[in-house]
Amino acid sequence: MPSSIHQQTHQSGSASGLDLYNKPSFKVYSKAEPDFHLTIRDGRVILARSNPSDEFQNWFKDEKFSTRVKDSEGCPAFALVNKATGQAIKHSIGEANPVQLIPYNPDVLDESILWTQSKDLGDGFRAVRMVNNTHLNVDAFHGDKKSGGVRDGTTIVLWKWNKGDYV
C-alpha cells in the first residue's frame, strides 16, 4: 500500500533547535486508509487516526540536496522530517523492517534519510521510496485488507513495490 504526501500547510511549532517554524508542513497518509496519518509514538513511526491536535502528525520535506541527489529515475531526493521532534525518517535495515528515526542535521548529506516520490499512481497518490533503492517503499506493515488493514499503531516498514495493491 503506497503512502502519499498530501500538502496541507500548517505553521505551528518548532522542533528542538531547528528553525522549522517557517517551513510549511503537511500530513502523510495512506491510499488504503486516508483517515490515518504518519506520526511518531513511543519513538516509532506509525499510522494513527487523523488528529488535528497531534503535532507529531506534521512533517516537512527538506529538499536541500535535491539538485545533487536523485534516484535511478531522476526524481529529486528529500529528507522527511517531523516538525514536532526534528527527527528524520531513516531507512530500515531491509525489507519488512520498521523505518527508524534519527536527529536531523540539515548540514550533513546522509543518504540513509533521503527519499524520493514516484510518479502519480492515480488520484494524486505517490509512493515514498528509498533514494538508493526505488523498489522499497514506505508501507504500512500488514496494512492490506487480507491482513486486517490499517489500524491505530500500524508500524511503518519498507516493502517491495506491489503496484499499489492494498486489497
6, 77 Cβ separation under 8 angstroms? no
Write out pLDDT tens, residues 112-124: 999 999 998 888 8
pLDDT surpasses 50 at 7: no
Burial of residue 144, with CB atoms counted within 10 A of its CB: 0-12 exposed, 13-18 middle, 19 or more buried: middle
Residue 115 covered by a domain: yes
Main-chain dihedrals φ then ψ at residue 111, nearest 5 degrees = -60, -25
Residue 167 covered by a domain: no
Mean pLDDT (whole number) for 67-96: 97
Residue 165 covered by a domain: no
The span from the CA of 150 to the CA of 155, in Å, is 9
Please report the sign of the dihedral spanned by the C-alpha atoms of residue 48, residue 52, residue 57, residue 62.
Answer: positive
Residue 146 covered by a domain: yes
Residue 166 covered by a domain: no
Residue 143 covered by a domain: yes
Lowest mean pLDDT among 35-39, 94-98, 134-138, 157-161: 157-161
- How many structural domains does the chain have? 1
Q: Residue 65's domain spans which residues?
A: 3-160
Residue 34 covered by a domain: yes
pLDDT surpasses 50 at 12: no
pLDDT for position 95: 94
pTM score, whole prediction: 0.86
pLDDT surpasses 70 at 13: no
Cell of 8: 496541507
Q: How many residues does the chain have?
A: 167
Residue 133 covered by a domain: yes
Q: What is the CATH number of the domain that holds 113?
A: 2.80.10.50
Lowest mean pLDDT among 8-12, 65-69, 90-94, 107-111: 8-12
Nearest to 156 by CA among 81, 80, 77, 92: 92
109, 94 Cβ separation under 8 angstroms? no
Task: Write b or e for each residue in 104-131: b if 16 or more Cβ atoms lie within 10 A of its Cβ, otherwise e.
Answer: beeeeeeeebbbbbbeeeeeebbbbbbb
